[in-house]
Amino acid sequence: MQIYLPIANLPVNVFLVLGMGLAVGFLSGMFGVGGGFLMTPLLIFVGISPAVVVASVSPQIAASLFSGFLAHWRRGTIDIVLGAMLLIGGTTGALIGVWLFTLLRAVDQLDLIIALSYVTLLSVVGVLMITEGLRAINRARHGERADLRRPGSHTWIHRLPLKMRFKRSRIYVSVIPVWVIGWIIGFLGAVLGVGGGFMLVPMLIYLLRVPTMTVIGTSMLLTLVTMVTATVMHAAADHLVDAPLALILMIGGVIGAQFGVRAGQNMRSEYLRLLLGVLVMLVGMRFALDLVIKPDDLYSIRHVRGG
């Protein structure tokens, strides 16, 4: 069944998009991430213009994050104060990200920047995840206990001024790195159409020593708000949010996530991380290939304006 997307201006098969939503939702439920880093490339490969994809994926990520957020809210595993501090950086980052997005689109380099950023980001994150996953599997095989971060081990980040106590997470840390992390995630989210959970969670754990109990819920608070901000901003500034597309993706996504969560519970977490790392790597490599291999068609057309 074909449906005509009013903003992307092309017909797509509903079941194809729904299926993609289900598949990505499944993976996002399994790994506990928003799934934007998979959804955006998939939609671009289907043939929807990258600009429309990035703008339309934001509300879809927001939907899947909100259902996760509510679950964490009920369990009380969200550090509101830390979340608010991250948000100060996050919303600023998202605003600047949307502004840069509009600018890059005007000079015809948006697609390139999206592709390049994906390659860099996904390769780095993928490699980190794979090595970390392999190490964890190795440890588990030798029966060692995971290398728990000692609370006393401080880095330069902990010597920064403007310290603040985050009671729920039981950390005492400067707000500067909190703002910076929030800013980076908000910025990347707006430019790349990713929630950024897959980067934010490791950052919060390794840089700020946020305990695992509050890290997922708190990261969801930030990514949820940046994705909502990005949706509104993209709609207001670029008029590129395709709501019907987002709706189909959302429906597929939330259903898929339910099965994904169940599948994830039956798997060992270190294998999950390794698998996620491999997946991230593969998507990154696909982007890299597109950039390096001589394209079949050197030419492309972009609609500039009516009249």
Partner 1 sequence: MMRRFAYMYMLLLLLIACGARPAAAERLVVSLSNHRVQVTSNFVGEDLVLFGSVEPDNKQSTLRSSYDLVVTVTGPRETFRTRRKGRVLGIWVNANSREFVHVPSYLAILSNRPVTAITNEETRLRLQIGLDNFLLPQRIGPDIADTVRNDPYRVAFVRLKSDQGLYRESAKAVTFLTPTVFRVAIPLPAAAPTGSYAIDVKLFAGGALVARTNSALEVIKTGFEQYVADAAADYGLLYGIATAIMALFIGWFASVIFRRD
Binding residues (CB under 8 A) for partner 1: these are: 1-4, 6-7, 9-11, 59-60, 62-71, 74-75, 108-109, 111-112, 116, 227-228, 231-237, 239-241, 243-244, 246-247, 250-251, 254-255, 257-258, 291-295, 297-307
- Which of 67/92 has CB closer to partner 1? 67
| Nearest C-alpha neighbor of 278 from the set 118, 114, 132 | 132
- Which amino acid type is present at position 247? L
DSSP-based three-state secondary structure for 40? helix
- Which of 148/298 has CB closer to partner 1? 298
- Which of 58/277 has CB closer to partner 1? 58
- Which of 156/299 has CB closer to partner 1? 299
DSSP-based three-state secondary structure for 206? helix
Alpha carbons 207 and 178: distance in angstroms, whole number: 9
300: Cβ–Cβ under 8 A, 6 or more apart, which residues?
A: none
- Which of 60/218 has CB closer to partner 1? 60
Q: How far is the CB of 67 from partner 1 (least distance, A)?
A: 4
Contact 195, 223 (CB under 8 A): yes
Q: How far is the CB of 7 from partner 1 (least distance, A)?
A: 6
Contact 65, 218 (CB under 8 A): no
Alpha carbons 98 and 239: distance in angstroms, whole number: 12
Alpha carbons 164 and 282: distance in angstroms, whole number: 40
Q: How far is the CB of 256 from partner 1 (least distance, A)?
A: 11
Using CB atoms within 10 A of its CB, is residue 139 exposed (0-12), middle (13-18) or buried (19+)? middle
DSSP-based three-state secondary structure for 107? coil
Q: How far is the CB of 149 from partner 1 (least distance, A)?
A: 28
- Which of 65/180 has CB closer to partner 1? 65
- Which of 218/231 has CB closer to partner 1? 231
Alpha carbons 226 and 205: distance in angstroms, whole number: 20
- Which of 222/257 has CB closer to partner 1? 257
Q: How far is the CB of 203 from partner 1 (least distance, A)?
A: 24
- Which of 72/139 has CB closer to partner 1? 72
Contact 177, 160 (CB under 8 A): yes
DSSP lists the bridge partners of residue 65 as none
Distance in angstroms between the alpha carbons of the first and the last residue of the chain: 33
Q: How far is the CB of 72 from partner 1 (least distance, A)?
A: 10
- Rounded to 5°, the CA angle 128-126-46 comes to 165
Q: How far is the CB of 74 from partner 1 (least distance, A)?
A: 6
Q: How far is the CB of 38 from partner 1 (least distance, A)?
A: 18
Q: How far is the CB of 168 from partner 1 (least distance, A)?
A: 19
DSSP lists the bridge partners of residue 172 as 165
